Structure formats: structure tokens, C-alpha cells
Amino acid sequence: MTRNKGSLTPKQHKAILILSEKSIAETARELRIPERTLYRWMKLPLFALVLQEERAAKYYRDSARLVQLRPAAINILAKLLLDPSTPPATRVRAAESVLDQTRETFELQDLESRLTQLEQDDETEGDKRK
């Protein structure tokens, strides 16, 4: 079969969509193709690139959904943490979760701030060299 090396077949596009959510074995079964075919496709630069882009897009869509659920999760943790009738082990776990998330948020904000400063410093140095 002759085809343009720079394009993907409809079946390859479908495989990419399925692979972004399922395993290689599940994808092969659903498409009724051998797993080795998927492995061979995954070695193709264009297929690998499009698969990576689709997985990244799915990750960002999922992340956006998690951000939407965050206020509800915070409310649940607060209620568990503050309710004296909540079992102590559950209260401890809620407290740990709040503290872990607070630490991670602080660390991300700190890294973002430091990265921004480094980028600004690099731009300033680049301007001086011109």
C-alpha cells in the first residue's frame, strides 16, 4: 500500500484517540489489530508526536475538570476536619491532605516566581549583549 509518509490513516487516528485513555492491549482488541502493529506505529515519528499531543490535551482537559471540583473537595475536607463527630483517623487524614496541598501550592507558586525571575534576568542579559 502506497501512502504519504507524512500522514496518518483513519485507523491510526482512531488508535491515537483510544491510546490516550486505554492500554495497548485494549486498543488492539478494540481496533481488531495485533498489538505489534500498535508498537510499530508508536515508533513512527508522526504517530508518536500526535499521540503525545493527544495525551497532553487529555491531561489538560482532565486537569481543568479537577480544578472545577477543587472547591467542593476543599469544603468536604473542611467539614471533616472541623466536625467533632468525625473519627480521629479521618480528621488526621483530612488535616494531612490540607497541609500537603497547601505545601504543594506554595512550592509551585515559588517555582513559578523563580522561573519568571530567571526569564526576566535572561532577557536583561540578552539585551545587554546586543
Radius of gyration of the chain (CA): 23
Number of domains the chain is built from: 2
Residue 17: inside a domain = yes
b/e 49-58 (16+ beta carbons within 10 angstroms → b): ebbeebeeee
Residue 104: inside a domain = yes
42, 69, 96 - which closes a domain = 69
19, 42, 69 - which closes a domain = 69
Per-residue pLDDT of the chain (130 residues; tens, 9 = 90+): 334 446 999 999 999 999 999 999 999 999 999 999 999 999 999 999 999 999 999 999 998 998 899 899 889 999 999 999 999 999 999 999 989 988 998 999 999 999 999 999 988 887 777 6
Residue 78: inside a domain = no
Note whether 91 and 65 are same-domain residues: no
User: Comparing C-alpha atoms, which of 46, 5, 12 is closest to residue 28?
Assistant: 12
CB atoms < 10 A from the CB of 15, how many? Answer: 24
**What global pTM score does this model have?**
0.59
| Residues spanned by the domain of 33 | 9-69
Residue 77: inside a domain = no
Residue 31: inside a domain = yes
Residue 74: inside a domain = no
